[in-house]
Amino acid sequence: MKRVYLFCSGGMSTSILASKMQELANSHKIPIEIAAFPDNKIGQIIEEKQPNVILLGPQVKYRYKEIVKQYASTGIPIQIIDQTDYGMMNSEKVLKFAIKLLKDAKQSEQSS
């Protein structure tokens, strides 16, 4: 099962989005685990749970370069959730974005 983890400053609104994404994935029988965590736990979560994709909430996008630099060696795709999709809690668009990142990472892995 693939793991997509969302990170934001507190984890509250991102938890709502993660829950909606998980419900949508379950309804389509997509074998994926989606959860949300505070951004100060990224290192711990990477070490303990080995996520396949990390999505950052718009409120922590200022940390994007720092996080990518720090965890680039893991090979985990790290991206920022689109602010409009996040604000609208558009779980379908964010889930599709996460799945695309998973597919791109798999293709990249196969070509190397």
Catalytic residue list:
8
Q: Tokens 């070509």, residue?
A: 111
Q: How far apart are CA 51 and CA 7, in angstroms?
A: 12
Q: Tokens 């689109």, residue?
A: 82
